[in-house]
Amino acid sequence: MKISTEPARSVELGVFLPVGSGGWITSTTSPQLPATYDYNRDVTVLAEELGFDFALSMAKWRGYGGPSAHWDTTLESISTMAGLAEATSRIKVWATVHTMVFHPAVVAKMGAVIDQISNGRFGLNIVAGSNPSDQGQFGLWRDLDHAGRYALAEEWITVARRLWTEERVDFEGEFFTLTDCVSSPKPAALPPVICAGGSDRGFKFTIDHCAGSLLQGGDDDRHIALGRRAKEIARESNKPDFKTYGLFTLVPGLTDADAQARVDDYNAGVDLIALENQAREYGADTAKENTSAKNFVQARTDAVAVGKSALVGSPETIARRLAYAVREAQLDGVTIIVPEFIDDLRVIGEQVAPLLAEFGVSTLAASGVPA
């Protein structure tokens, strides 16, 4: 790995909550995390104590089975974050919503309420697609091409924002119709919205309508190019304040060898049935520009529980690699996935975060500022 020549950066640090059974590693030998509110509350409270800036939860409606029963149980994202808003006092709480599942007027109302509960800490991650099996099981999947999904998402966010700021809304679109629609209370300020669209069309939608983009993170050339491309499109769109958040899987150990032994153990128990089910669901997606679908299909091809882009090693190794990725990809935030969300999160907050400063990346978690 090259030494970064990019200037020092200050970044937000977030945790991608394990709201699906088994967490984020598709294996029978990885920590079998419970998809319970209590566990996710403990993780979020710990993240706040460690100085993390935000907690994000995914939205998932159907699991992948296999011997690990991967994601067969999942918490609903919006209601989960409402509870976590009450359980915390500083950390930002971001929910994920599928634009095909929830009408924007419904989310506008729920978001305004959670804005009150959280004292302005609520935000949204909107997903324009997903896959036909996940949402098709209850008849809400719309068979749209890639451009059509983002056209729907553009109407969706337009309606939600108008309801957050206007007393009465009339709207006649291709996907949504509102007649003298009222929604009160209003949020004190517009909740921040992010999106994980990875194609150029997805980037363009995200930059035009959102405050930030959630990108797959890594310290290889491909992931660094992805981060730089998002910043390039933002500059072309005259959005200099647009933020990019890298999503990183981190596997810490006392030493590099110890961390690699963890990965080897998880890969030995890889749940190929669950990966096959996941790849089949996303492989059936007709929108071949769906970046997430490509990643899930590739995971089955690689047949490993921990992918090649994971940052694996001692706290010093992870800090060095993560800082390089942040600086080279010009990221504004880091969203973290770990195998176990109590002990591993402590390692990241108490050991990795302070070391990041030595490699030109500063975070609130390393500042010693208490929650």
In this predicted model, what pLDDT tens digit does every residue of 113-131 receive, in sequence order? 999 999 999 999 999 987 8
What end-to-end distance do the CA atoms of the chain give, in Å?
35
3-state secondary structure of 144: coil
CA–CA separation, 283 and 136 (whole Å): 15
Q: What are the residue boundaries of the structural domains of the chain, listed by start?
A: 11-366
CA–CA separation, 322 and 360 (whole Å): 11
Paired with 171 in beta bridges are 178
Give 345's pLDDT tier (boundaries 50, 70, 90). Answer: very high
> 10 Å Cβ neighbour count for 252?
26
CA–CA separation, 227 and 361 (whole Å): 16
In this predicted model, what pLDDT tens digit does every residue of 155-195 receive, in sequence order? 999 999 999 999 999 999 999 999 999 999 999 999 999 99
pLDDT at residue 371 in the model: 42
Collect contacts of 292-298 with beta carbons under 8 A, ≥24 apart.
Answer: 292/129, 292/130, 292/196, 292/198, 293/131, 295/216
Is 44 in contact with 342 (CB distance < 8 Å)? no
Is 371 in contact with 48 (CB distance < 8 Å)? yes
For tokens 């056209």, name the residue: 151
CA–CA separation, 206 and 230 (whole Å): 10
- What CATH class is the domain 11-366? alpha beta
In this predicted model, what pLDDT tens digit does every residue of 202-254 receive, in sequence order? 888 999 999 999 999 999 999 999 999 999 989 989 998 999 999 999 999 99
Phi-psi region of 180 (alpha: psi -120 to 50; beta: other; left: phi over 0): left
Crossing angle between the packed helical segments 77-87 and 37-50, to the nearest 10 degrees: 50
Residue 44 backbone dihedrals phi, psi, to 5 degrees: -70, -40
Quote the pTM value. Answer: 0.93
